[in-house]
Amino acid sequence: MTLLWFSVLSAPLLIGIALTAMVMVGGYTAPAMLLPEEQLRTAALGAMALMLICSRPLRNIILSPSAIAARPLQGAATDSDANTSAIGKTQASMFMLLGMLDAVSMIVVALCLIQADYQLALLNGTYTLVLAVIAKPDFATLIRETVSQLHRA
């Protein structure tokens, strides 16, 4: 799960590197200027800072063992054992958190592609990796705690 965590959150950096190559080597130019460059950078940096501040509290809310245990898991058999159920629920909760954390990065990536701003794209990719390190949960402990929570319920 840790490998999946970092591979999803490293995508903006890979896109930033590709955009840099497109601009520097391929001569890619901006198809549209939606926002002035300074306004885009200021808004993007503000959104990134807000995500860094909110990431741990958001992780603690979404990935608390009691919240994971209470969350229904679609498509799972109701008679499955606690270990299988805990792993499935933890994975589903992880993807929910990944989607929330990656939303701001992907919006910034889209704006960078539209405006051909490779510097902001690289900064956004670096920020997303820092966000991945800051918000990364301990999956083994989380699964064990969720199993014990499911046994109590």
In the chain, where are the structural domains located?
2-152
Q: Which two tokens stand for residue 150?
A: 């499911």
Note the pLDDT of residue 152.
86
Q: How confident is the model at residue 47 (pLDDT cuts 50, 70, 90)?
A: very high
Note the pLDDT of residue 63.
93
pTM, to two decimals: 0.86
Between 35 and 15, name the one with better pLDDT: 15
Q: Which residue has the tokens 């109590």?
A: 152
Note the pLDDT of residue 79.
59
| Separation of alpha carbons 122 and 40, rounded Å | 14
Q: How confident is the model at residue 112 (pLDDT cuts 50, 70, 90)?
A: very high
Average of per-residue pLDDT values in the chain:
91
Across residues 22-40, what is the average pLDDT? 90
Between 134 and 34, name the one with better pLDDT: 134
Tell me how crowded residue 40 is: count the other CB atoms within 10 A of its CB.
19
Contact status, residue 51 vs residue 63, Cβ threshold 8 Å = no
